[in-house]
Chains A and B, each alone.
Chain A
Amino acid sequence: MGEDMQFDALVERFYRPLYQFAFSLTRTETDACDLTQQTFYVWASKGHQLRDPSKVKSWLFTTLHREFLNSKRRQERFPHHELSEVEFELPSAAPSIREPIDGQKVLEALGELGEAFRAPVILFYLRDFSYKEIAEILEIPIGTVKSRLARGLIQLQDALAPPKKAELAFKKSP
């Protein structure tokens, strides 16, 4: 019974942010439902192997991200760039937000981000993830998380604010 209640409690607590993560990654409702269900199925099968309750959140999001990568049958590994290795210009100002940001446009802009940048940016905007947790979920070092985030956030602003493109241009490393 306790196990039953634990499973229900986990669904209640995490299915929404897991779905939000999945939907942001896949941008389709069907795929997002599929990923969320697959994540809880894996939990139902293997969750009892997790000994540290404080790791449940990271475990679920890591599992979802792995399932996403598996579903894409990715062969390549993302190159790791440390923050110091990647030079880029920061925006002189954030894009104007006098007009409300459209959710669909945000998702479309996410789709334009490089694969390596998308997941860190999504986890940055979903609440309650420390950089340590994002690093655990994506199974990359914190330095890599920050470098990808910095580039990803600027790419996102770039995609959502075309008129400012010139201001956001990256400059190549010397």
Chain B
Amino acid sequence: MNTERAKKVLLLFRPGMDDPTEPETAASLAQAGADAELADWAREQQHWHESVREQFASIEPPLGLRAQLLAMRPQPESNRWWMQPLWLALPAAAALVIGLFINFVATPKVDNRFPAYRNWMARVALREYRMDLSTNSLPEIRRYLATHRGHGDFSMPAGLRTMPQLGCRVFTWHNHPVSLICFEKPDQELVWLFVTQRGELDGAPPGEEPVFVPVGALATASWSNGNETYLVATKGDLNLVRGYF
């Protein structure tokens, strides 16, 4: 093996990680053992790799990410009503239980708790999405939502009433419709208002008193009004969102 080839092999060799007995690696290591210049070169490369590796290892996730991820855990099976012994004991319900069980097995498990919903909507806001309707007209937005399984009669906190709308979209979350209305702030940053049925969410805010929670780079506020649960989100700190109420 010539020196250049040995260098190519040694460049990719990670001591303690890669197999030193792999024939080409073993030959290159043996060659380095007999060639001081090649051995020095390989040592410098390893030193370099270790220094760079330390930089990758020092990347720290932001505070709160772990908790957000844990909030996304699938719903425990023990909480499912159809798994309770009382129901299982009722012969008349057996067929229904079996049917639901088959449906459950065939369907991906979902978490319909409010924190998971809030996290998901924050991601929707931050990722690329398209508007179903682009317009500055609030009546048009209400009409569109009302005729597309959305929430045309949505209400707004005072701070959003003075902001121009950019458009709206209707999409589904766990098969339930969610309305998204997009607003533009004076600084051209966006504010997103999500509306969905309150009954679809476990642990939705109980009343009209908003709950303020940061989600990544977003500040969010959530509340319920009638049958609907609202979530407003924008980039910035919580004081910004508090000012909308």
Q: A residues within 8 Å of B by Cβ?
A: 1, 3-4, 7-8, 11-12, 15-16, 19-20, 23-24, 29-34, 36-38, 40-41, 44-46, 48, 71, 73, 83, 90, 92-95, 97, 100-103, 106, 122, 124-128, 130-131, 146, 149-150, 153-154, 156-157
Contact = CB atoms under 8 A, between A and B. Distances in A.
A40 B72 contact: yes
13 contacts: A1-B76, A1-B77, A3-B109, A19-B65, A34-B127, A36-B61, A44-B74, A45-B110, A71-B127, A90-B8, A94-B45, A122-B56, A146-B12
B69 interface: yes
Contacts of B52: 101, 106, 125, 156
A90 B72 CA distance: 46
A45 B78 CA distance: 18
Contacts of A149: 12
A126 B56 contact: yes
B44 A24 contact: no
B97 interface: no
B111 interface: yes
* Majority secondary structure, B binding face: helix
Contacts of A20: 56-57, 59, 61
B59 A38 contact: no
Interface residues of B, number: 48
A152 B70 CA distance: 35
A88 to B, nearest CB: 9
B11 interface: yes
Contact of A153 (B11, B66, B126, B127): B11
B62 A93 contact: no
A38 B126 CA distance: 12
Contacts of B73: 4, 7-8, 11, 44
A40 B69 contact: yes
A102 B175 CA distance: 47
